[in-house]
Amino acid sequence: MNVLIERLGRVVLIRLNRPQARNALDTALMCELLDTLKTLDSDPGVGCFLVTGTKKYFAAGADIKEMYGKSCLDMIQEDYFAGWDAFAALRTPKVAAVAGFAYGGGCELAMMCDVIVADESAQFALPEITLGVMPGMGGTQRLTRLIGRAKAMDMILTGRSMSAREAEQSGLVSRVTAAGQLLEEALAIAHRIGGFPRISTLAAREAVNRADESGLREGLLFERRSFHGLFATPGQKEGMQAFLEKREPRFDLIESAPK
């Protein structure tokens, strides 16, 4: 199995599992991942996806052996890498827990997630230029939006790596954890996200993503309408009632209630 899946309450833990290839992302891994997550994405009992690798490799990149023999026509006809758009489009919030190398496609996969938590050992890079190509899984677009043109150009044109601390300072990484605490802290974040009403987290991440894709006026309107719509949900009623009653909200009872 290229992907190991574990249900932990409302969190789905996904472990990339190609240790012999440093978790390189090939078509088989992508298909296996998407076949599983597309079903879970519509499961009301799932509140967050957590994606991780091993201590040494999150993912070393796309599988070069798979790509090497392909022609330009092959790549166009297959629309190679287009399948990863389906992972990015999953509506359930996604957290990436990164230790070791997140190079090429591994860095791009992490950037498809909503929150990146990095171990002190993490290294991020888009070194495709050293292979005579360029990022193709969204790296030029997502990295530029996350860290700005100057830093993105530096990384993409030189192929250099970025440490976890620099990545945090640049806006690529949300949090950096001490050595050995990555999974514990990432799980705590995932459980916290998963503990909120699913409809609220779906709406919130869609509104944030809209900020990258539209002008300010359109983005503000989208955000406001999404906010208005949440007043038709049980989560809004419970959350605000709990605040007024000075108690902790019980979103778990709402999410588990029969529809």
Residue tagged 């709990």 (tokens): 242
- The amino acid present at 100, given as its one-letter code, is G
Is residue 128 flagged as an active site residue? yes
Query: Pick the catalytic residue: 96, 108, 138, 235?
Result: 108
Distances (CA, A) of 185 to 17, 21, 113, 117, 118: 21, 27, 16, 8, 10
Query: Pick the catalytic residue: 61, 105, 106, 138?
Result: 105
Query: Pick the catalytic residue: 128, 164, 186, 204?
Result: 128
Is residue 136 flagged as an active site residue? no
Count CB neighbours of 44 within 10 A. 12
In terms of Cα–Cα distance, which of 165, 175, 69, 84 is closest to 124?
Answer: 165
Is residue 62 flagged as an active site residue? yes
Is residue 100 flagged as an active site residue? no
Query: Pick the catalytic residue: 21, 24, 59, 62?
Result: 62
Helix (H) or strand (E) holding 238: helix 234-244
The residues annotated with a catalytic role in the active site are 62, 105, 108, 128
